[in-house]
């Protein structure tokens, strides 16, 4: 399946949900915000929100610092 992730084309194999994508990218779901096709997805929906061909995702990761 081909998607656009943060403005870049990405090919996904055997990834069906946002949770699986975050696991593949080694991202902690507690430290990200995901926008799927211009809609912010609530973290409690990551396990059930499926990905489809040509979806566009933006993943913003929070980092600490100072």
pLDDT tens digits for range 6-65: 999 999 998 999 999 999 999 999 999 999 999 999 999 999 999 999 999 999 998 877
Q: What is the CATH number of domain 2-61?
A: 3.10.20.30
Integer Cα distance of 19 and 63 in angstroms: 19
CA 16 to chain centre: 11
- Interacting residues of 46 by C-beta distance below 8 A, sequence separation 6+: 17, 18, 19, 22, 29, 34
What residues does each domain of the chain span? 2-61
Give the DSSP H or E segment for 22: helix 18-24
pTM passes above 0.75: yes
| The predicted structure's pLDDT at residue 64 | 77
| The predicted structure's pLDDT at residue 65 | 77
């Amino acid at each position: 399946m081909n998607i656009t992730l943060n403005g870049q084309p990405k090919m996904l194999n055997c990834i069906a949900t946002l949770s699986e994508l975050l696991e593949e990218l080694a991202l902690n779901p507690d430290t990200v915000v995901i926008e799927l096709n211009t809609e912010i997805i609530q973290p409690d929906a990551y396990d059930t929100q499926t990905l489809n061909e040509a979806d566009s995702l933006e993943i913003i990761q929070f980092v600490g610092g100072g």
